[in-house]
Structure 1
Amino acid sequence: MTRRLSMDEAAGLPEPELGSGQRGLDELVTKDCWRALLRFGRRLFDVPDAPDADGLLLPYGTHAFGGPREFTLDLTRQFEISDSNGDHDPYVQVHRELRYSPAPALKALGSSDSWFFHDAGDDLDDRAQALTERAAWATIRRLRPTENRVYQEQV
């Protein structure tokens, strides 16, 4: 039986998943980060036995989050937290946020989000294939983000 990782171990995983020892983060293109998210997404964690307790969220769009407008792709893993009584507490999200310089081609993509939950019966690889067949993927897959950061937060 495969040991499930604790949610506390999740925050430190996105960086090693990139294999950053081979290349610097500034050399990575979007598809490198996407592949790392899929490796991270395949890892199993010890989450509450509740619907949608472990999921991937993939929003993108052009936004101004307290600064200039930028195109942002946020590769996010979300875990549900339960208190000692088994009741829902906040979610924990581990983000790999990719930001890009504004460009007409990126603005033309609009915005979108896609959810995947491990307990929903879908296959992660099938979902990933469907996402990479979208027209937006052809635009962003080879771009180098101007900012590439990993962080964790409670929501």
Structure 2
Amino acid sequence: MGEAVGVLEDELGTRAIADLVTEDVWLAFLRFGRRLFHVPDTPDADGLLFQYGTYAFGCPPAFTLDLTRQFEVSDSEGDHDHYVQVHCELRYVLEPALEALGNFNSWFFHDAGDDLDEWAQALTKRAAWTVIRRLHPTGIRMYQEQV
């Protein structure tokens, strides 16, 4: 798990941000999401989150798509200790069409019996996907945090 951000960066490749569209990053995130990591054998120990909305985190408001993978971390006795989240955050210039999308989030957990491809397909069938799939983000930030 300590190398998860590097694994995600490898999936994204070395293309310049100006050459990327949202769909490129989404496909890289799904490849990352298919990779197996050692996680505790507990419910919801390895999940993917697709979320978007308009936010202002200490800067002008922007539309943000946050693709996150969350891992549970257990203590030495096997009890929940914390989560580690690996984020791929895409920011876009705020336009009326993006602002009109509002906020949305959807989780996928590997152990829940759902199919990752079906989850991804359902997200790309949303009307919002037609708005964002070909957009070029103005910024991409990848980071890992403990929550």
TM-score between both structures, scaled by the size of structure 2: 0.97
- The equivalent of 2:4 in structure 1 is 10
- The equivalent of 2:126 in structure 1 is 134
**2:84 matched to 1:92?**
yes
**2:27 matched to 1:35?**
yes
How far did residue 65 of structure 1 move?
1.3
> Aligned match of 1:74 in 47, 66, 75?
66
Q: Is the 8 A contact 2:17 2:137 kept in 1?
A: no
CA–CA distance in structure 2, aligned partners of residues 51 and 133 of structure 1: 27
Provide, for residues 43-91 of structure 1, a one-character-per-residue CA deviation record: whole Å limited to 9, x for no partner: 0110001000000011100011121111000000000000101111110
Q: Is the 8 A contact 2:89 2:141 kept in 1?
A: yes
How far did residue 14 of structure 1 move?
1.2
SS at match of 1:127: helix
The AA in structure 1 aligned to 2:25 is C
**2:109 matched to 1:117?**
yes
CA–CA distance in structure 1, aligned partners of residues 82 and 18 of structure 2: 33
CA–CA distance in structure 2, aligned partners of residues 24 and 102 of structure 1: 21
The AA in structure 2 aligned to 1:13 is V
TM-score between both structures, scaled by the size of structure 1: 0.92
CA–CA distance in structure 1, aligned partners of residues 58 and 43 of structure 2: 33
SS at match of 1:138: helix
- The equivalent of 2:56 in structure 1 is 64
The AA in structure 1 aligned to 2:13 is G
Unpaired runs of 5+ residues, structure 1, are: 1-6
Tell me which stretches of 4 or more aligned residues in structure 1 moved more than 3 Å: none
Higher strand share: 2
Unpaired runs of 5+ residues, structure 2, are: none
Q: Which residues of 2 match residues 46-65 of structure 1 at below 5 A?
A: 46-65=38-57
Q: CA RMSD in A?
A: 0.8
- The equivalent of 1:144 in structure 2 is 136
- The equivalent of 1:104 in structure 2 is 96
How far did residue 12 of structure 1 move?
0.9
